[in-house]
């Protein structure tokens, strides 16, 4: 689909999943193709302007994304991805503060659980989960199910001002280590 004009590939982690964004740029034809998880999202053939921007949306929340094409020298180009108006690096850094992610294997299936700290929404493998929130003595518990299994995300004070609130995922009472993405 993208053939030899593929010039950039980025992986973007959102609450509803990790998206692979591929960008092809034909520097002789001006062709521009954006693919999301292997599916063509944008195709423009015979663009006379070789630099510029291609904007599109990603994921269930229709997050804004833009590929910037800049000429460096002669026929050398630089491609950068901006998500929600931020560089990919800044977006990823901000998301790491605003979300907590766990990957786990349950009943032979891989699951990616994401907690959005600001809304307390919980996503699993791209689906927003039905949750129940409860206040408990030492913080809050957000309860949901994965198949026949009980899950609980505990939010507790770390006891330290800098760390703030710490989130733990329990699957049938067992603590699951957090993932970096």
Same domain, 8 and 75: yes
Name the residue with higher pLDDT: 160 or 42: 42
pLDDT at 157: 84
91 inside domain: no
Joined tokens for residue 36: 């999301």
Q: Domain range holding 134?
A: 96-176
- CATH number, domain of 162, equals 2.40.128.180
State the total domains in the chain.
2
Q: Are strands 63-73 and 139-146 parallel, antiparallel or unpaired?
A: unpaired
Query: Residues 61-103: pLDDT tens digits?
Result: 999 999 999 999 877 899 999 999 999 999 999 998 999 999 9
> Which burial class, exposed, middle or buried, applies to 113 when counting CB atoms under 10 A from its CB (0-12, 13-18, 19+)?
buried
Does residue 7 have a pLDDT over 70?
yes
Give the 3-state secondary structure of residue 119.
coil
37 inside domain: yes
Q: For the chain, how big is the Rg over CA atoms in Å? A: 20
Of 84, 109, 139, the residue at which a domain comes to its end is 84
pLDDT at 141: 94
């Amino acid at each position: 689909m993208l053939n030899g004009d593929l010039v950039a590939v980025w992986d973007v982690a959102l609450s509803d999943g990790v998206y692979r964004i591929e960008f092809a740029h034909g520097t002789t034809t001006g062709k521009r193709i954006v693919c999301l998880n292997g599916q063509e999202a944008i195709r423009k053939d015979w663009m006379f302007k070789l630099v510029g921007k291609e904007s599109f949306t990603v994921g269930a929340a229709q997050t804004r994304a833009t590929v910037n094409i800049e000429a460096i020298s002669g026929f050398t180009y630089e491609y950068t991805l901006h998500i929600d108006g931020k560089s990919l690096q800044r977006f990823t850094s901000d998301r790491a503060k605003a979300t907590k992610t766990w990957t786990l294997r349950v009943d032979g299936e891989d699951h990616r659980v994401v907690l959005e700290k600001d809304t307390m929404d919980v996503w699993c493998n791209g689906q927003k989960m039905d949750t129940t929130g409860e206040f408990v003595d030492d913080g809050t518990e957000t309860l949901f199910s994965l198949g026949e299994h009980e899950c609980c995300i505990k939010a507790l004070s770390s006891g330290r001002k800098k760390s703030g609130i710490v989130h733990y995922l329990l699957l049938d009472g067992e603590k699951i280590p957090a993932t970096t993405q």
